[in-house]
Amino acid sequence: MSSDKITPAAILAMKARGEKIAALTAYDFPMARLLDEAGVPLLLVGDSVGMVVLGYPDTTHVTMAEMEHHVRAAARAKTRALLGADLPYRSYETVAEAVANAQRLIAAGAGYVKAEGGREILPQVQAILAAGIPFCGHLGMLPQHVLEEGGYKIKGRQEAEHQKLLDDARALADAGAFAVVLELVTPPVAKEISQAITAPTIGIGSGPDCDGQILVTHDLTGMFPWFTPRFVKPTVHCGAKIKAAVQDWKSSVEAKN
């Protein structure tokens, strides 16, 4: 494997070669470094940091300052992987805000930014790309809209929703997004979108036919054992392992009384 830094063009080329893309979230130096050493090519300082690290009930509480803090920490790992960051809730309401906040995340060390939405944010997406900032789309269930939608709902079951997802994905890819996350999209619709656009789709809870898969690392590793999404099967239970190690150490300290 080459040791060259992974670029958005390299992620696009993986789809062209038919290679599946593994992506994970990383919010700090050790996790970014571990995932990079494991060979994961695409990393995201997701605003899910708000829920699994900062203890907020949803991602709508995450601020730009918090995102910058975590991007700086993860970027210090100087990963070969392409490391990007979420524009948080209400940080891209206007074109000017979108570009200014995307530039702040890039200055903090991100190699791309991601924002939630389709054609309704297309002017912001076009302006971010025109500013020379690589962009990743995010369609389907949009966690920043959880309060308006009243929960985390699967998307693509209704015909109108199916068509909107397809049109939004085409619009983002045509604008120049190097990838599009599909969250909780019905597997047949996710498959159809993946076949319809040249940019790779990165699925989360959207079935096996996306061009890549992303998970919140804390879900995959059992680091946030109080809630695990239905579509994740943790492969290790780090939370339980930490608790057991700490209990053993505590007992050894107390035994020396």
What residues make contact with ligand KIV under the rule CB under 6 A?
25, 44, 46-48, 86, 138, 181, 204, 214, 216
Point out the residue whose Cβ comes nearest to ligand KIV.
46
Active site residue 97: no
* Residues with Cβ within 8 Å of residue 136, at least 6 apart in sequence: 44, 84, 112, 113, 114, 177, 178, 179, 180, 181, 202
**Inter-residue contact 202 to 180 (CB < 8 Å):** yes
What are the beta bridge partners of residue 102? none
Which DSSP state fits 122?
Answer: H
Q: How far is CA 102 from the centre of its chain?
A: 15
**Residue (197 or 250) nearer to ligand KIV, CB:** 197
- Output the smallest distance, CB 45 to ligand KIV, in A: 8
Report, in Å, the least distance between residue 44 CB and ligand KIV: 6
Task: Tell me if 142 sits within 8 A of 117, measured CB to CB.
Answer: yes
Distance separating alpha carbons of residues 21 and 181, to the nearest angstrom? 12
Decide whether 46 or 171 has the Cβ nearer to ligand KIV: 46
CB of 246 to ligand KIV, least distance (A): 27
SS3 181: strand
Shortest distance, position 204 Cβ to ligand KIV, whole Å: 5
Q: Which is nearer to ligand KIV, 74 or 204 (CB)?
A: 204
Which of 66, 68, 116, 183 is labelled catalytic? Answer: 183
**Residues known to be catalytic:** 183
